[in-house]
Amino acid sequence: MTTSTPPLITARGLEKAYGRTEALRGASVSLGAGEILAVTGASGSGKSTLLHCLAGIVTPDSGSVEYAGTRIDGLSEARRTELRRTDFGILFQFGQLIPELSALDNVALPLLLAGARRTAAHEQASDWLGKFGVYGQARLRPGEMSGGQAQRVSLARALVTGPKVVFADEPTGALDSLTGEQVMTTLVQSARESGSAVVLITHDAQVSAYADREVVLRDGVVRADEPWAAEHFSTAEVRGND
């Protein structure tokens, strides 16, 4: 991104503790509009907690999160939920599709929640399933699909509303490498087409290679733009041992 463009998200000095475990210890990071940012780091370094704070799922103990110029860390749960619905798409490692609903209904759900009519929502959901190569699975429930198919359906659900930011927490973590590459290619292409920014959490250097920029979390603090090097992270450096 250019320096003249204000960031879409700016997080400053985030701290978050779970009991005695300090998951974040002053993490700061920014995200430009349309930027694909990889957040890497050892297990337990605070990546998921950071993503949850940026997406308004979790409230930090201190520090601030600004989205499009507005502080969101102090908003009520209801307003944060609304923001996630209107502006954010979220993709988890295991998809977290609703098991009782078909693929089509899972993808249509965010549109229905946003007030779309049923027929229009289903038409749009069908288009997205087609785009991600899982139109043939439209009537299946998540338990009747392969992991790769379910993750593509999850991706369609995350992108169907045209979010400004997609938060993806280890989106390929449960997939074999070929399927993971296909999911990443689809995610990145779709985000580029729609101008969505992506926050991508990953352990995997092959996945972070899809990003425009990478930051490394260590001990709950962002070490900006360090090159990924797994050997940096000995187990002694992993948080949670206090």
Ligand X SMILES: Nc1ncnc2c1ncn2[C@@H]1O[C@H](COP(=O)(O)OP(=O)(O)OP(=O)(O)O)[C@@H](O)[C@H]1O
**Phi and psi of 203, rounded to 5°?**
-90, -10
The amino acid present at 164, given as its one-letter code, is K
Q: Can you name the residues that pair with 65 across neighbouring β-strands?
A: 11
**Phi and psi of 83, rounded to 5°?**
-60, -45
d(CA 116, CA 130): 20
Quick note: the x/- pattern for ligand X over 26-65, rule CB under 6 A, is: ---------------x-xxxxxxx----------------
Strand, coil or helix: 182: helix
- Please report whether residue 230 would count as binding ligand X according to CB under 6 A: no
- Please report whether residue 240 would count as binding ligand X according to CB under 6 A: yes
Closest approach of ligand X to the CB of residue 34, in Å = 24
Of 93 and 124, the one with the shorter C-beta distance to ligand X is 93
User: For residues 199-228, which are near ligand X according to CB under 6 A?
Assistant: none
Closest approach of ligand X to the CB of residue 238, in Å = 8
- Please report whether residue 152 would count as binding ligand X according to CB under 6 A: no
Of 147 and 240, the one with the shorter C-beta distance to ligand X is 240
Of 23 and 159, the one with the shorter C-beta distance to ligand X is 23
Residue 81's contacts (CB-CB under 8 Å, 6 or more residues apart) are none
d(CA 170, CA 168): 6
Contact residues toward ligand X (CB under 6 A) are 18, 21, 23, 41, 43-49, 239-240
